[in-house]
Amino acid sequence: MRFKKVLSVVDCHAEGESGKVIVGGVGQVPGDTMFDKRVYLETHMDDIRKMVLFEPRGAVWHNANIVLPSNHSDADMGYVILETTEYPAMSGSNTMCVATVLLETGILPMKVPVTELTLESPAGLIKVRCECSNGKVTSVRLVNQPAFCYHVDRHIEVDGFGTVRVDIVYGGMTYAMVDAADLGFSIEPSEARELCEAGQKIKFAAAQQLAVEHPENPAIPGITNTEFMGPLRREKGRLISKNCVVVSPGRCDRSPCGTGSSAKLALLHAKGLMEPGETLIHESITGSRFTCTIDGLTTVGPYRAVIPAIAGQAWITGLYQMGMDPTDPYPEGFTVADTWMTTV
């Protein structure tokens, strides 16, 4: 067997959302920060993302992460997130997968009952608290970078839907957030294809009609996701809501989405519906849940922001080496519109 490229991969998922963790084979990635390394990977080493995530080795619902040493004195490790159409600055479910893999495979030492980590993402430092027992990470609670609202209660024109009310919120990725009921959705698995089609239209329309630019890092991508929000209710002192994030090129996040949950916390606080110390149980289209709190308040440039904390669990499902045969006709994979909606 002759491989021209070999990657050591740990398969993992966080509350149903895939998050492969590449722990070896990438080599050196230049850059002082993880954002610099993200940019270098995107512009000079994008063949890795395509090899891992595109068919025939990947699938539209797959994500991946590259674990890399951090140059930050406070960070235990760094990572860059790879998705099928972009390199996000941050992802909550992927962070849960990375923390779980680092500890359960022994890359970083596990301490019982709690291991505290600081990980450097492209968005900045992420504090992580892992509850551990019998060699297993049973919970990952991450404190995200601040989340804030760009636009609240705005209206856009969407092909096929007319005027749609949206909120535009940054939670590590930037979301066009819509009440699902406004478009006749209940956020059920049977609606997944229709949600994806509507979500893609809303995202593109919002990006065309509403300007956003991260005040501290203009290179962070603008509106790239749509989040459908279910009704909000209070039960035993907690807020509970369902959501579905539509990830490009058009598929549903299987988890409650960490950055989407962060955006939800910012929006609830901006609308006076949630205060620091309260708990939101955020449920996905598959029924999995994240426990979400506002750890504090801050500002980002001109925006009032919240400090989101998101907790969930991740599970390792396999360890393997992914290889590239030099005669393979698909070294960077391919996409087909039957499941990818559009080719990318």
Decide: 5 and 25 in contact? Cβ < 8 Å: yes
Q: Pull the structure tokens for residue 162.
A: 């007319």
Return the closest-CA partner of residue 48 out of 31, 69, 65, 68.
65
Residue type, 9: V
Same domain, residue pair 179 and 282: yes
DSSP 41-100: HHHH-HHHHHHHHSBTT--TT--EEEEE----TT-SEEEEEE-SS---S--HHHHHHHHH
Same domain, residue pair 127 and 168: no
Domain carrying residue 265? 147-311
201: helix, strand or coil: helix
Same domain, residue pair 283 and 320: no
91 is catalytic: yes
Same domain, residue pair 11 and 102: yes
* pTM metric for this prediction: 0.96
Same domain, residue pair 63 and 127: yes
Same domain, residue pair 138 and 175: no
CA end-to-end span of the chain? 31
Q: Pull the structure tokens for residue 202.
A: 């809303």
Residue 343, pLDDT score = 63
Same domain, residue pair 125 and 157: no
Same domain, residue pair 61 and 181: no
Annotated catalytic residue within 91, 261, 262, 284: 91
Return the closest-CA partner of residue 41 out of 88, 100, 9.
88
Question: How many domains in the chain?
Answer: 2
Q: What is the pLDDT along the chain (344 residues), one digit of tens a residue?
A: 688 899 999 999 999 999 999 999 999 999 999 999 999 999 999 999 999 999 999 999 999 999 999 999 999 999 999 999 999 999 999 999 999 999 999 999 999 999 999 999 999 999 999 999 999 999 999 999 999 999 999 999 999 999 999 999 999 999 999 999 999 999 999 999 999 999 999 999 999 999 999 999 999 999 999 999 999 999 989 999 999 999 999 999 999 999 999 999 999 999 999 999 999 999 999 999 999 999 999 999 999 999 999 999 999 999 999 999 999 999 999 999 998 987 66
Same domain, residue pair 234 and 199: yes
Same domain, residue pair 134 and 271: no
Residue 25 sits in a domain whose CATH number is: 3.10.310.10
Same domain, residue pair 156 and 217: yes
Residues written for the chain? 344
